[in-house]
Amino acid sequence: MQTLFIDRKNAELEVDRGRLLIRIDGQRPIFSVPTQVLEMLVISAPVNFSSTLMTQLTQENIVTVFINPRKSEASTITTGMMHNDAIRRLWQYQVISDHVVRLDFAKQLMEHKVRLQKAMLTRGLNQRPDCRHPIFKALGRITAIQQNIPSATSIDSLRGMEGAAGAAYFEAYQSLFAPALQFTNRNRRPPRDPVNVILSLTFTLLHAEAVRVLFSTGFDPLLGIYHEPDFGRESLACDLVELFRPLAERWIWRLFVNEILRPEYFAYSPENSDKPCLLGKRGREVYYGAYDKQARRWRKLMRRTARYWLTQLRQVVGE
């Protein structure tokens, strides 16, 4: 086990002799797990715990993610201890200060993301030939943008290209979903349809995964290459998540196409603009189980990517 999801209201959490205990209504533990096998704890319901628990989780480098199921993007992440080799963070600061090197890294990131977007749409075309018109149109626009990435003279211009590619991509991506899901565009804060609910929740979890991987590799997650540093934002984690968005979007598409997630798992409240669409309890059970299986692969890829970034830093600074 690497991630534990807790979705039981008023559960009581404590650590005792190296095990995380979960109680309901003060009864004997209904579940316990050795903390040494945990990498991340995701809590999506009101629970009770002490500062001792948080201290223990931090000392054991277990990331804790608190998610409001009614507003998944308003999450809180507590991280473990930073990597002890501060030299790696000095390398990162040095690279971020070099405009030429930073732009080169940003181009690599954007090129990789665009390739994955095209691969996602190509897969969609293979299974949904009836969507060939919006997909061919999007692929043409994205390919034209891709050809301009090497000539970008600034990160701002890259962001403009990303925005144009993303708009083309989502016009085709949304056509792959059943009309009953009401997925007509990308929306958030709050998401207004089942697909957007799952997109937002998945990217929240992926962001937490990225923060943990970057900390454990020795990076400072706050200082990004493509994303500018911003108060309270782990910008480098945002950079890492960019590479996984098309992979996550393909997985989410399969969840709905294979009816692993179904419309009846969601509740609608058109009269409440703050919570127009929510993932119900049964849906959360299904989703978290599916996410845990898929995330094991993503974690390996994230660790591999972070190590590759570290190798590139060494080469740039000449170590």
Domain boundaries, the chain: 3-60, 86-317
Same fold, 3-60 and 86-317: no
pLDDT at 250 > cutoff 90: yes
Distance CA 286, CA 297 (A): 18
How distant is the alpha carbon of residue 194 from its chain centre? 17
Q: What are phi and psi of 72, to 5 degrees?
A: -65, -30
pLDDT, averaged across the chain: 85
pLDDT at 210 > cutoff 80: yes
User: Do 20 and 32 meet the contact criterion of CB atoms below 8 Å apart?
Assistant: yes
pLDDT at 53 > cutoff 80: no
Distance CA 39, CA 247 (A): 22
Of the two residues 121 and 270, the one the predictor is more confident about is: 121
Q: Which is it for strands 31-34 and 40-43: parallel, antiparallel or unpaired?
A: unpaired
Of 49-63, 84-98, 185-199, 238-252, where does the model show the most confidence?
238-252
Q: What topology does CATH give the domain 86-317?
A: Four Helix Bundle (Hemerythrin (Met), subunit A) (1.20.120)
Kindly report, residue by residue over 55-103, the tens digit of the pLDDT.
Answer: 777 777 787 888 776 665 667 777 666 666 788 888 888 888 888 888 9
Distance CA 224, CA 104 (A): 13
Distance CA 232, CA 123 (A): 37
Of 34-38, 273-277, 284-288, where does the model show the most confidence?
284-288
Facing residues of 47 across strands? Answer: 11
How confident is the model at residue 71, as a pLDDT?
62
How confident is the model at residue 271, as a pLDDT?
61
How confident is the model at residue 28, as a pLDDT?
65
∠ at Cα 155 (219, 207), nearest 5°?
40
Supply the DSSP symbol for 82.
P
> What pLDDT band is residue 15 in, cutting at 50, 70 and 90?
confident
Q: Which residues contact 30 (CB under 8 A, 6 or more apart)?
A: 22, 23, 24
Of the two residues 39 and 264, the one the predictor is more confident about is: 264
Taking the model in full, what pTM does it have?
0.85
Q: What is the mean pLDDT of residues 145-169?
A: 93
User: Do 47 and 10 meet the contact criterion of CB atoms below 8 Å apart?
Assistant: yes
* Segments in 128-193 forming alpha helices (H): 132-148, 155-173
Kindly report, residue by residue over 108-118, the tens digit of the pLDDT.
Answer: 999 999 999 99
CATH of domain 3-60: 3.100.10.20
Nearest to 249 by CA among 188, 200, 208, 178: 200
Of the two residues 319 and 276, the one the predictor is more confident about is: 276
Nearest to 236 by CA among 215, 261, 252: 215
Q: Which token pair is 265?
A: 């798992």
Q: What are phi and psi of 168, to 5 degrees?
A: -65, -40
Q: Which residues contact 156 (CB under 8 A, 6 or more apart)?
A: none
How confident is the model at residue 19, as a pLDDT?
79
